[in-house]
A and B are shown apart, each in its own frame.
Chain A
Amino acid sequence: MANPGRAPARGRLKIFLGYAAGVGKTCQMLEDAQERKAKGIDAVIGYFESHGRKDTIAKAEGLEIMPRKRVSYRDSTFEEMDTAALMERNPQVAYVDEFAHTNIPGSGRAKRWEDVEALLDAGIDVVTTLNIQHLESLNDQVWQITGVRVQETIPDWVVQQADEVVMVDLTPRALLHRIERGAVYGPEKAQRAMQNFFRESTLVALRELTLRQAAHEVQQRLDPAADGPSPRILVHLTPDPQTAMLIRRARRVSDFTGAECFAVAVQPAGDWCDLPEREREAIGRHLNFARNLHIETRILEGEDTAAALVDFARRNQITQIFLSRPPDRRPRRFFSRNLVQKVVALGRDMQIVIVSEREPL
């Protein structure tokens, strides 16, 4: 080391972004590895998933592949990336497939993206692969398109800090041909896949979403600074399940428009103990969720929720308040129809954004 004792410069992160399994992300990742290796760069495969595909396996030929770590969980053995061994090996570039993967409990960090963070912090460049449906702020739009609630998500800020995001494109027709030929899945799984995620309209919509996301990633790296004063967004957290969607939407709008984002829950009287436990838990979950998406959170006190929200907004130069659309005919103490009306009436100097649910076809 040239500078002993000094932390190495953080590694560079490159992401191959695709709209579905089988578009060729892993192949492009391996081609990237072969190219760098040919240039004399120390490139090592930290983890890759061949899915038994012949072309993919062929592309890995001649590359150094780290052995996987075996982890026992509930009487079964699973294989995970051996992050510690990879850090020990300390290559210039590590290739790590499936960025959004969730590790088996007991194998170390909870998420693969956290393993990647550790590699980057150790000064190792990382090249990885990601499908659009795993991006947290798109969870509701993906649900709208596919009817599937994706559980394995990755916070947007993790992707934003990548140095490069490259779109791996393939037309849906070509992808469907690949699936029919059995080049992506085995025959049974192919049948099932084509009935669900791999309907043509679904693929076309996911692809459009990916193209627009890729365009945004380019634009954001081109000129991150917004023109004029940046908007400041406030999200109102309640126990209502719609709050997760509200947080995602506000996060996405603030990321795109260069706004700062805050989230508050308003505590009615005295303390939370007066609330039913389920609601208390839900609030805690939503506060945590917001923090994981790098949204600053605060708990306010006030009898009048609308007044507390608008007052906080004024004191913090908030320009936009995000609220969930009130549920139909199910008035609740936290979340009554009156709240939106009151905030709209009180916050007449700011924009009030009411987010309604996205429903699948």
Chain B
Amino acid sequence: MQPDGTAAEKGHLKILVGYASGVGKSFRMIDEARRRKERGQDVVIGAVQPNAPPEVQELQRHLEVVPLKGASNRAAIDLDALIQRRPAVCFIDGLAYDNPPGSRNQARWQDVQDLLDAGIKVVASINIQYVTELRERVESITGKHVKETVPVSFIQSADEIEVIDAPPENPLERTPEERIDAKRREQQLSKLRELTLVLAADVVDRQLEQYLDRHGIQQHLGAQERILICVTPRANVAQMMGSARAIVAKFHAELTAAYVSQPDISAADQAALDRRLEIVRSAGAAIQILEGEDPVTAILDFAHRKGITQLFIGHSQRSGFGAWLWGNPVDRLIQRSRGMDVRVFPQ
């Protein structure tokens, strides 16, 4: 709360994401600062990278910089000075730093949170390698241990996210000593690049969902592939999961499984269903239990709510869903499907 009783409006956060150092994040950031200043905005640089390339240092000379506090290897942004200065936009190059002991916050991203809470707009940059939840995957790609990280929830909280994409050649040209093992490094960088693009797509997808929600729009736009596996007592879930895994990996798709609960299911069918659910669960898919008199309606309603683009179902010529009264359920499901592929599996 402000002294006058009105809450400060939270500052707007924009994050630039790159997949490695040397892709040009610092330049893009400083260039944005320059352009905003030219348009008359009150711009301040709150953090610069230690070994910025010469073209970045050149641009920096024309901008107001609030220097970091502390020794150069363990420096923190000068939070008090920045809040006192209250620029319209503050630029923080490099989010993933821990602060020296005794600082107000443990990590720099928390300092940025304080700037936002004080109503200051922040443009910040981060390298994908420093996202907490991706640490294991990044380490398995690069073989390097990462210590200082930023939680993905902070990145997802950004109002805007922008990807700095460039093929791996550029970073290689910057660091000639790493030309040894160039091929392997190029592969590593490509994997990090893929990770970055998918992370950005996921953040954008959440924002799109929130936007559509706010505007009361029920429909999904199909930019993200989403698979729904319908589990029944006779479904060949092993084959379904095999196909699903391949599609999930290649489309960067989202996977959900569902079954429609049936009150009068036989003990044998229940046991068969449980075995199948266990296979699906152990493969890591979330399972949704659906209710409804007509299973076809229950499945399709859920699929439309979730924005499913590919629905997997087994042949069910008889029984299993024997209680279905309105003809062959698979036929009805196909006939009523909209905006998706229905994939019928042998069983």
A residues contacting B by CB (< 8 A) are: 14, 141, 144-145, 164, 166-171, 173-174, 200-201, 204-209, 211-212, 214-216, 218-219, 221-222, 226-228, 249, 253, 256-258, 320, 325-326, 328, 337, 340-341, 344-345, 348-359, 361
Contact = CB atoms under 8 A, between A and B. Distances in A.
Interface in B183-212: 187, 190-191, 193-194, 197-198, 200-201, 204-205, 207-208, 211-212
B58 interface: no
A167 B23 CA distance: 13
Contacts of B194: 215, 218-219, 222
A215 B198 contact: yes
A356 B247 contact: no
Contacts of A257: 246-247, 250
B115 to A, nearest CB: 19
A171 B197 CA distance: 14
B76 to A, nearest CB: 28
B160 interface: yes
A205 B223 contact: yes
B341 A353 contact: yes
Contact of A222 (B187, B224, B315, B330): B187
B200 A211 contact: yes
Contacts of A341: 328, 331
Given A211-B197, A228-B246, 18 more contacts: A14-B167, A141-B223, A171-B14, A201-B211, A205-B223, A211-B163, A215-B197, A215-B198, A219-B250, A253-B341, A256-B250, A337-B331, A348-B346, A352-B344, A354-B341, A354-B343, A354-B344, A356-B340
A337 B204 contact: no
A174 B162 CA distance: 10
A312 to B, nearest CB: 18
Given A169-B162, A219-B250, A256-B247, A249 B341 contact: yes
Contacts of B222: 141, 144-145, 358
Contact of A215 (B160, B223, B252): B252
25 contacts: A141-B222, A164-B167, A168-B165, A169-B164, A173-B159, A201-B215, A205-B208, A205-B223, A211-B204, A212-B223, A212-B251, A214-B165, A214-B197, A222-B191, A253-B247, A253-B341, A257-B250, A320-B343, A325-B342, A351-B343, A351-B345, A354-B342, A356-B340, A359-B339, A361-B221
Contact of B346 (A201, A212, A258, A350): A350
A356 B165 contact: no
A143 B315 CA distance: 32
B103 interface: no
B335 interface: yes
B193 A218 contact: yes
B74 interface: no
Chain A CB within 10 Å — which of B166, B198, B204, B212 has the most? B204
Given A170-B162, A218-B193, A219-B194, A353 B342 contact: yes
B217 interface: yes
B204 A166 contact: no
B137 interface: no
B21 interface: no
A204 B224 contact: no
A351 B345 CA distance: 5
Contacts of B208: 201, 204-205, 208
A171 B223 contact: no
A206 B201 CA distance: 10
